[in-house]
Amino acid sequence: MRQHYALVLSQSRRMLLVLEDAEDVAQQVFIKAWKAWSSFDGNDPQRVAWLLRITRNASVDAARKRNIRRMAPLDVLLEERTAQVLSAPDFDGDVILARLHAAISTLPPRQRWVFQARYFEARPYAELAKETGKSEGALKASYHHARKKIESLIQEQAAEMITGH
């Protein structure tokens, strides 16, 4: 747990934005992993991939339970999420990065996960395919759709800032 806690927490934090929610997910992940750890006979990289798969699934489930995609109109949601990201004590970016994270948070959980794994971590599709059991083509399509949605949201936000609407 000590060795992988930061990794699990960062993965769940990217999905959920809220540190407390990410900490809850990390706790669930390690409880589940603890129960099956001794029966797992893989080497360390396989264990890390297995742990990340548990983290992804738990984060997606938590995001669905919180229904974080559509709580309010999209423009209100984006402003709330941007403020939330900016006020987080461990966030050291600017408003543009906060808006990016807010836009990412509106994606469906699985698209959000693929986008974050590729964009922020540059993880190869082959690795993600092994971790998820999805084809590389399906993951590429998810990333492409996520990127287009984020680009559209960012362009809309920029236009609103310029016109004042």
Burial zone of 19 (CB within 10 Å; 0-12 exposed, 13-18 middle, 19+ buried): middle
Burial zone of 142 (CB within 10 Å; 0-12 exposed, 13-18 middle, 19+ buried): buried
Cβ distance 55 to 12 under 8 Å?
Answer: yes
Distance CA 31, CA 26 (A): 9
Domains of the chain: 1-68 (1.10.1740), 71-165 (1.10.10.10)
Cβ distance 26 to 17 under 8 Å?
Answer: no
Is residue 143 over pLDDT 90? yes
Q: Letter for the amino acid at 77?
A: L
Tokens representing 15 are 């999905």
pLDDT in tens, 11-44: 888 778 778 888 999 999 999 888 877 766 656 6
Is residue 164 over pLDDT 80? no
For the chain, how long is the longest CA-to-CA vector?
A: 59
Is residue 136 over pLDDT 90? yes
Angle subtended at Cα 17 by Cα 13 and Cα 20, rounded to the nearest 5 degrees:
70
pLDDT in tens, 60-111: 888 877 765 444 555 666 677 777 777 777 766 777 777 788 888 888 888 9
pLDDT in tens, 106-128: 888 889 889 988 998 899 999 88
pLDDT in tens, 43-61: 666 778 888 889 988 988 8
Q: What is the DSSP letter of 144?
A: H
What is the structure's pLDDT at 71? 47
Q: What is the DSSP letter of 11?
A: H
Q: What is the pTM for the complete model shown?
A: 0.62
